[in-house]
Amino acid sequence: MSSIHIHTYMDNIRKSLIDGRVGVCVYMFLSIYLYIYTSMYIHIYFRQLIEQHAGDWVIAEWLSC
């Protein structure tokens, strides 16, 4: 049973290699898009976080002096 499973797995790999060029292009595009999107989202999130807490941090630094 496992040999049949491995055979179908190899068939799927062969089919995916035939479709590989399109798959690689789509994968690269999606990974670059997700990377840009997540980095922008994290940047905006941290900027909002810093703007929200900037006053608290300034007051805390002033009190610590």
Distance of CA 22 to the CA centre of its chain: 20
The predicted-structure confidence for 10-41, as pLDDT tens digits, reads as follows 788 777 776 777 777 788 899 999 999 999 99
**What pLDDT score does 1 carry?**
52
For residue 10, give Cα distances in angstroms to 5, 21, 26, 32: 9, 18, 22, 29
**What pLDDT score does 65 carry?**
64
Contact 62, 54 (CB under 8 A): no
- Does the pTM surpass 0.85? The reply is no
3-class DSSP assignment, residue 17: helix
Contact 23, 16 (CB under 8 A): yes
The predicted-structure confidence for 39-51, as pLDDT tens digits, reads as follows 999 888 888 887 7
Q: How confident is the model at residue 2 (pLDDT cuts 50, 70, 90)?
A: low
